Structure 1
Amino acid sequence: MSLNKCTNIFLMLLPTTTKINIIKEPTSSAWLTQALANLETILLDHSHCERKAAGVALNFLFRYPSYQDLVRQLTAIAREELEHFELVNQWLERLNIPLTALKPPPYGALLKEQVKPQEPERLLDSLLISALIEARSHERLGLLAQFCPDPELASFYRGLMACEARHYGIYWLLANHYFDKDRVRVRLDELAVVESQILAHLHHEPRIHS
């Protein structure tokens, strides 16, 4: 079965709730409380997250230009992440929130430390970490969609969460396309444990991945 056909089947089976099976531990109520009390900062950080997500997809294209299926799928993701970046920036303008720099939380850097330096392990780990980040984004945007006091902003988050789920699925499918499924399952389980451990202690600054 082709990767494109697998992707289409996955999209038909996307979850409609905030539960993502590859995540080991759900987001804590402490994060939601922190996020709702700092929605402007969360929205600004969301802008940075969309920009970084586009950069991650583009970096795959530069590092693995001969991987045809990867290039096709991640070109589309990079384009969509940049579209989301623009949409979030429109919200920032609407709310008069300056597009300024934010110090990133340790989440991304700590996950990147788990990537094995040698190929093909580097590709596998990079795909699975990207899947985990997108899955966590899906979960947290879903929480914001459910609990955000501004109905219009909540609707905006609801619209984006499905995209995050699709992106997580594409990274996961690419890993299974290029690597043995049992190998993917074992490594994903290992990385998912680390991902949840990183988030076990709430970061003191409100962020999407704090």
Structure 2
Amino acid sequence: MTSSVPTSLPKIKYLKRPTSPAWIEQAIANLDTILLDHSHCERKAAGVALNLMFRYPSSAKLVRMLTAIAQEELEHFELVNQWLERRGIAMRSLPAPPYGAELNRHVRRDEPERMLDLLLVSGLIEARSHERLGLLSQHCPEPELAKFYHGLMASEARHYGIYWVLATTYFDVDIVTRRLEELATIESDILSTLHPEPRIHS
């Protein structure tokens, strides 16, 4: 199949490489699966925020800001589930791509480095989500669904900004910047090979 997707894609802050046109084609050809995976992603994102709050309960700014993220992710979870219901897609589990597990494998285990890495990995995932929801909004052939994706983009951008703010609240900005460079390279490398099954992070 000849690609109609442009090879020049917008650059998203913090991401080393843009998503490949092959992912866009794969996603558009499997919109129902992408929606189902999107539901799981929103639920997991809420869980990530809650887990960080439980892990660092004495970090008041973190708890306050991540409470808002967790609430918003759960709202998005419900909105995506409404789309699943409208399209007659039954909720079910999906095999996870290696993306999240591979990123978390590079999280250092000792504190305070662990806290920094968890914040930065979370921010990178949100940045990639922002990029990919934007691509879906641009290329989705269904106008109403494209509009839905576009409406979620701003939230994802705000979320990765919050994780950056939290990282620079608790760590020196130079340390944060250096570690972000390392993790961002790893993140892009993980996505350099298209996963055979369509996923938001494949």
TM over 0.5: yes
The one-letter amino acid of 1:191's match is L
**For structure 1, which segment, 141-150 or 17-26, has the greater mean C-alpha deviation from structure 2 after superposition?**
17-26
Q: State the shift of 1:21 in Å.
A: 1.8
TM-score, with structure 2 as normaliser: 0.95
Q: State the shift of 1:19 in Å.
A: 3.1
Q: State the shift of 1:131 in Å.
A: 0.4
Q: State the shift of 1:189 in Å.
A: 0.2
Q: Which residue of structure 1 aligns with residue 20 of structure 2? A: 28
Q: Is the 8 A contact 1:43 1:88 kept in 2?
A: yes
Q: Which residue of structure 2 aligns with residue 70 of structure 1? A: 62
Q: State the shift of 1:20 in Å.
A: 1.5
Q: Which residue of structure 2 aligns with residue 191 of structure 1? A: 183
Aligned Cα root-mean-square deviation (Å): 0.9
Which whole-Å deviations, capped at 9, do the CAs of 1:108-144 have from their partners, x for residues lacking one?
Answer: 0000001000000000000000000000000000000
Q: Which residue of structure 1 aligns with residue 171 of structure 2? A: 179
Give the number of aligned pairs.
194
Q: Is the 8 A contact 1:135 1:168 kept in 2?
A: yes
**For structure 1, which segment, 164-173 or 17-26, has the greater mean C-alpha deviation from structure 2 after superposition?**
17-26
Q: State the shift of 1:54 in Å.
A: 0.2
The one-letter amino acid of 2:200's match is I
Q: Any residues of structure 2 matched to 1:26-175 within 5 Å, and which?
A: 26-175=18-167
Quote the Cα distance in structure 2 between the aligned partners of 1:99 and 1:66: 36
Which whole-Å deviations, capped at 9, do the CAs of 1:56-105 have from their partners, x for residues lacking one?
Answer: 00000110000000000000000000000000000000000001110110
The one-letter amino acid of 2:63's match is V
The one-letter amino acid of 2:113's match is E
The one-letter amino acid of 2:38's match is H
TM-score, with structure 1 as normaliser: 0.91
The one-letter amino acid of 2:120's match is L
Q: Is the 8 A contact 2:11 2:17 kept in 1?
A: no
Q: Is the 8 A contact 2:120 2:164 kept in 1?
A: yes
Quote the Cα distance in structure 2 between the aligned partners of 1:161 and 1:21: 14
Quote the Cα distance in structure 2 between the aligned partners of 1:52 and 1:18: 26
Quote the Cα distance in structure 2 between the aligned partners of 1:143 and 1:28: 10
Quote the Cα distance in structure 2 between the aligned partners of 1:84 and 1:157: 11
The one-letter amino acid of 1:53's match is A
The one-letter amino acid of 2:136's match is L
Which whole-Å deviations, capped at 9, do the CAs of 1:32-59 have from their partners, x for residues lacking one?
Answer: 0000000000000000000000000000
Q: Is the 8 A contact 1:35 1:42 kept in 2?
A: yes
Query: Identity across aligned pairs (percent)?
Result: 71
